[in-house]
Amino acid sequence: MRSAKPSSSGLDPVSEAGLRYNGFMIHEIFPVGPLQCNCSIIGDETTGEAMVIDPGDDVDTLLALIRKHNLQVKQIIITHAHIDHVGGAMRLRAATGAPILLNRNDYALLKMLDVQASWIGMPAPGDVEIDQSLASGDTVKAGRYSASILHTPGHTEGSICLYFPVEKILVAGDTLFAGSIGRTDLPGGSMQKIMQSLHGTLLALPDETTVVPGHGPLTTIGEERESNPFLLKG
């Protein structure tokens, strides 16, 4: 569940499966499900190890892409416990054997998936089991690629972002969008906390960092620092 207001940049150009902007790291970004959550597959071409971030839906497409690249999924990482980000996680775990990771502050929201499904008229996905909690300071890896976990509460209590410092890529979940920020009016949301997460944590990253938001087009930290109306001071 996405932004507070529609993005100024309009409709979603991340529409073709298989966008790759880095010749070495496999990074497939494709929108899944009715709310078009950006799911990422990040893989190491050499070792074949991969992580999947936010498998909200369309698990068959996901598995086809995983097979296409000959990847073995080692971790399933959920940026926050909204149904459009977590809905396909159990099917993906069953198909790959990979553990599901989520920050423990979102475990309560995870218990409300049936309610969330009714909000958007989706069938309830059933119970999702978390294998491990992720917190600030943790590192997750796909072969030689590693990301630091940043706990960024505000859209939900347990929202996290993944920052790949070498590649300068941020997978931002629903905390930051191109031209917008995550909504804070759902259970667990807090405008004060998201502002703290944005100004204190995400805007501390380098301007050239590519941001992969939970929905909609890619952006950069510099672009958002300059022009995001929710981040401009005064």
Q: Using CB under 5 A as the criterion, which residues of the chain lie in contact with Zn ion when the complex forms? A: 1, 82, 174
* Residue 6 in tokens: 């529609």
Distance of alpha carbon 92 from alpha carbon 85, whole angstroms: 12
Q: How would you write 62-119 as a 3-class SS string?
A: HHHHHHHCCCEEEEEECCCCCHHHHCCHHHHHHHHCCCEECCHHHHHHHCCHHHHHHH
Shortest Å distance, C-beta 47 to Zn ion: 31
Among residues 25 and 134, whose Cβ is nearest to Zn ion?
134
Among residues 44 and 106, whose Cβ is nearest to Zn ion?
106
Shortest Å distance, C-beta 151 to Zn ion: 15
Among residues 43 and 87, whose Cβ is nearest to Zn ion?
87
Our CA angle for 181, 183, 186, nearest 5°, is 160
CB-based contact 171:41 (threshold 8 Å): no
Shortest Å distance, C-beta 161 to Zn ion: 13
Of all residues in the shown chain, the one whose CB is closest to Zn ion is 82
Shortest Å distance, C-beta 73 to Zn ion: 22
Among residues 174 and 224, whose Cβ is nearest to Zn ion?
174
Among residues 109 and 218, whose Cβ is nearest to Zn ion?
109
Shortest Å distance, C-beta 174 to Zn ion: 4
**H/E element, 60:** helix 59-68
